[in-house]
Structure 1
Amino acid sequence: MATEQNQDAQDLQQEQAEQQTQAENEQAEVSVEDLQAQITNLEENLKLEKARTANAVYEAQKSVERIQRESEKHKDTVLEKFAKELLESVDNLERAIQAAGEDNAVVEGVKLTLKSLLTTLEKFGVVEADTTQGFNADLHQAVGIDPNAKANEIGNVLQKGYTLNGRLLRPAMVMVGQ
């Protein structure tokens, strides 16, 4: 009877051990499934954060580009206003040279001053609008008819026109043939 009890005890222990092993295997399987679910969740979160980071970098680059464009536009506007104001001085110097008419030291000084001013303006992109190629409504403003000029050609330039970096700064006021 003792052997039967020992045998029953051993069977009971073996059965408990099998149940415990089976429970541990089930826990291990559940743990692996949980871990795989966590890995999948973390991978999705990583993709989302990478996309957010890429979007933030893109937005930052666009902001920098926009600020640079606005800065260039502002710089061009300021330069345009400044150049327009200087053109008044150029016109006055040209009128002084025409009015003096004589070759004396004062006229030479005014001519040199005008040349220096025009050179400085050219360094910053201000150049005289071309009036030799005929009338161009984009560069010239017709203010009258010149009876001695051919049709669609400029007969007399009343005020020179200027461009700033290829854009019209001030149109040339001209008399055009009919």
Structure 2
Amino acid sequence: MANEHNEQAQDIQNEQQPEQTQAEGVEQATNELSVEDLQAQITTLAEGLKLEKARAANATYEAEKVKERLEREAETAKKFALEKFAKDLLDSVDNLERAIQAAGDEQSPLLEGVQLTLKSLLTTLEKFDVVAVDTTNGFNADHHQAVGIDPNAKAGEIGTVLQKGYTLSGRLLRPAMVMVGQ
């Protein structure tokens, strides 16, 4: 009985060996096709990955540019947010200067108070980068508005300043109204 059992096991083994050899051949052929297919898939996926990396890099670049632009715009808006307010305060500065001129040479506590108020207001305006336009270096059409001719001034020079001009952070807020020599 043991012999019969061994013979049957050998027969089964012999039958399985050709089947295994056949299966290995089919598996190798399948593996060869699969390897080619897998390599094609790898190539396709690698190209897709490159494309997606490029898109991600482009999106990151665009996001940075938008962020920088928004920061610049916010800074500009913050810088010039006081424009209307400062323009309205300039009327008060003009009125205080006129009051000081009207007082003439007479010194009084009232005049001293007006002068201190004007000084305080100008200091506050300068703190927020509101600065008077320079009228000592000749006429500049970008900062001065000629409203007449001053016969006592040299050509191209400013003779009389009728109203001071001001800038806010380098941007013209109000031009100086001047009379210019011919």
TM class by shorter chain equals: 0.7 to 0.9
Q: Secondary structure at the match of 1:53?
A: helix
Within-5 A mapping of 1:80-91: 80-91=83-94
1:74 to 77, 82, 96: 77
* TM-aligned CA deviation for residue 34 of structure 1: 2.1
2:162 to 152, 158, 164: 158
Q: Residue 174 in 1 paired to residue 140 in 2?
A: no
Instruction: Render the CA deviation track for 1:93-140: whole Å, top value 9, x for unaligned.
Output: 101111122211111111111111111111111111111111111111
Letter in 1 for 2:51: L
> Structure 2: how far apart are the matches of 1:124 and 1:72?
14
User: Which residue does the alignment assign to 2:53?
Assistant: 50
- Local SS of the residue matching 2:81: helix
Structure 2 equivalent of residue 95 of structure 1:
98
* SS of match in other structure, 1:49: helix
**Change beyond 3 A, Cα 1:25–1:70:** same
TM-aligned CA deviation for residue 26 of structure 1: 0.7
Report the 3-state secondary structure (helix = DSSP H, G, I; strand = E; otherwise coil) of the residue aligned with 2:82.
Answer: helix
Determine if contact 2:80/2:168 at 8 Å carries over to the other structure: no
Per-residue deviation, 1:14? 6.5
Aligned residues: 170
Tell me which of 109, 117, 122 is aligned to 1:118. 122
Offset, 1:150:
1.3
Counterpart of 1:154 in structure 2: which amino acid?
I
Q: Check whether the contact 2:144–2:177 (CA below 8 A) recurs between aligned residues.
A: yes
Q: Distance in 1 between matches of 2:155 and 2:20?
A: 114
| One-letter identity of the residue aligned with 2:22 | Q
CA distance in structure 1 between the aligned counterparts of 2:84 and 2:16, rounded to whole angstroms: 100
Unmatched 5+ residue regions in structure 1? Answer: 1-9
Aligned residues of 2:79 and 2:169 also touching (Cα < 8 A): no
State the alpha-carbon separation in 1 of the partners of residues 181 and 27 from structure 2: 105
2:42 pairs, out of 2, 17, 39, with 39
Q: Distance in 2 between matches of 1:15 and 1:94?
A: 115
RMSD: 2.2
Q: Per-residue deviation at 1:20?
A: 3.0
| Distance in 2 (alpha carbons) for counterparts of 1:47 and 1:19 | 41
User: Please, which of 63, 66, 82 is the counterpart of residue 66 of structure 2?
Assistant: 63
